[in-house]
Structure 1
């Protein structure tokens, strides 16, 4: 495959669906002007995100109030996504929304174009309080598209290297990471550029691209919603960790052209091919089920069934 154009948005999306479609239409127009074949929109761009994060016990009244404030739950085959499919034409688009599945809701994403949905995903890793609103997904899987083999993640997923590695091992060449990533909730920085959660966001994006040697495309919400203020920082990162385009701390569209196959071949033939050179047989507890919450256990404290004997013992 030759060079393709990629565009990624830092844009504001709330509960007003018509306004969301107008914003999507505007961004589609910009992406086409840039000559892009792939457009990545933020998490929760159809219906908006949660107005706040937090957990703890809640009364029945508080729970009812919270449920009334959730984004609309949409069906994969419903008219809301069909409307975006009709807008997409030959442009491949990744976007986030709240998915309905019977009584359950999922923080979800799809990649689609004019022929329909190419891949769908339900967010696996849930930050503070999200489990009060959404069920958790349980699968990472890559899928084929006109722009190459892709995988999707949502927001907090990027903090877990196993998630991106799973997609890379499934052949993903491009990973889209859709976010509604806010500024820090305490001790805010004078400048958003210095916000510690913004810096964390950027570190994860470059690390995930570099360690998996993939093209990483990270979108984000912009502006504010409820108590949350989003860090923007949409970016395209090459498989060597170089940032090809970035919106910075402002809303906007970042675009770049890249020959994905040539870039992957170049970086993976340069002496370090991270996927090939893995040693999973020595990683041990990295792939064991969770044993702890907040406190690391020493090998002596772990259940005997998951203790690992050192190779040199």
Structure 2
């Protein structure tokens, strides 16, 4: 039988420009989750600084937040838990990069990903990974891929990770209900939550994979009356959304049975088709390093 992994979806409120305070809260959630037997904790995008790029001290706060990568590595090793610490904004000269990491339970970095599909307002501030390929990587939980927030809208990103063997794809997000036009809000005030819920489950079905999404929520005093979409969840084929949260800050613990993915692939044969010679979407064909199709 395939393993069952316990995943902590840490849906916290990222207080603007307060990396020390936000880290302290995240650390508390992770410690509690590890004590309950979790194998993996996933945090939201921008969880250390929030997204306030027009604030004068934003870049300074981002430069400070990069030191927290080592703190998360130390925490993972201490607790024996894998951690996706949301995203960490890194500076490269005058440029800002939005980076997600997968930290293994021994504290090592198993994977690093720079956000490719930038939300329109982000393009004034961040640099995309552009044409760099999406790559999966090996972890204590199997082969994993990383995507970030608006990447969720692009099936091509998932397909490229599946072609590289990913079984689980972690997606830190900073998705709000208000980041659309007034016309969009008039059509459906909860439209962005609907987008997230539909896309997570669809990507899980169409790729026979698990999609682990952790979004921002809260702040605590507002509860469900927040502008953050929340909806942190694990999407899996056949079953749908597991452990879905509302919009308030909180943690959801999910038992992810990897056997479900084997059953789904047996039914849908998505990966089997992608291995076939003559596969009509050549850029997603599953191949070995020597160029031959994987078995």
TM value normalised by structure 1: 0.76
Give the one of 108, 119, 131 matched to 1:116: 108
Match for residue 246 of structure 2?
248
Judged with a 3 Å threshold, the aligned counterparts in structure 2 of structure 1 residues 75 and 215 are, in CA distance, closer, same or farther, namely: farther
Query: Within 1, Cα distance between the matches of 2:64 and 2:137?
Result: 20
For residues 138-182 of structure 1, the C-alpha deviation after alignment (integer angstroms, 9 at most, x for no partner) is: 331101111111101100000000001111111111100110001
Shift of 1:281: 5.1
Give distance in 2, aligned partners of 1:139 and 1:66: 32
Residue ranges of structure 1 left out of the alignment (5+ in a row) = 52-64, 288-313
**Structure 2 counterparts to residues 288-307 of structure 1, below 5 A:** none
Corresponding position: 1:45 with 2:35: no
How high is the TM-score relative to the length of structure 2?
0.81
Distance 1:187 1:252 in 2: 31
1:130-169 matches, cutoff 5 A? 130-137=122-129, 138-169=132-163
SS of equivalent residue, structure 2 residue 272: coil
Separation in 2, partners of 1:242, 1:22? 32
Q: Establish whether residue 204 from structure 1 lines up as the match of residue 195 from structure 2.
A: no
Task: Identify the residue that residue 84 of structure 1 maps to in structure 2.
Answer: 72
Distance 1:188 1:66 in 2: 27
Range 78-87 or range 120-129, more displaced: 78-87
Deviation at 1:34, TM superposition (A): 3.1
Matched with 2:88 is 97
More moved, 235-244 vs 211-220: 235-244
Partner Cα separation in structure 2 for residue 71 and residue 231 of structure 1: 27
Per-residue CA deviation, residues 68-92 of structure 1 (Å, 9 max, x unaligned), is 434733499x632111111122110
Counterpart of 1:276 (choices 253, 272, 277) is: 272
Deviations 1:93-145 (A, max 9, x none): 11211022333211111111442211111000011221111100133110111
What CA distance in whole angstroms lies between the structure 2 residues aligned with 1:140 and 1:213?
18
Answer whether contact 1:211 1:274 (CA < 8 A) is retained.
yes
- Mapped to 2, the partners of 1:241 and 1:166 lie a distance apart of 23
Write the distance in 1 (CA, Å) between the matches of 2:209 and 2:63: 31
Q: Following the alignment from structure 1 to structure 2, what is the Cα–Cα distance between the partners of residues 3 and 26?
A: 24
Cα deviation digits, residues 197-244 of structure 1 (max 9, x gap): 1111111111111100101100001136xxx93111100112335112
From 205, 209, 213, the equivalent of 1:214 is: 209
Aligned positions, number: 265
- Please state if 1:126 is matched with 2:122: no
Is the 8 Å Cα contact of residues 95 and 125 (structure 2) preserved in structure 1?
no
Q: Which has the higher Rg, Structure 1 or Structure 2?
A: 1
Measured after TM superposition, the shift of residue 13 of structure 1 is 1.1
Question: Quick check: 1:112–1:118 contact (8 Å CA) kept in 2?
Answer: yes
Rounded to whole Å, the distance in 2 between the matches of 1:4 and 1:31 is 13
**8 Å Cα contact 2:218-2:247 kept in structure 1:** no
Moved over 6 A (4+): none
- Name the SS for the 1:276 alignment partner: helix
How far apart are 1:23 and its partner, in Å?
Answer: 1.3
On the 8 A contact 1:233/1:250 being kept in 2, the answer is no
Unaligned runs of 5+ in 2: 220-225, 285-295
Q: Distance in 2 between matches of 1:23 and 1:161?
A: 33
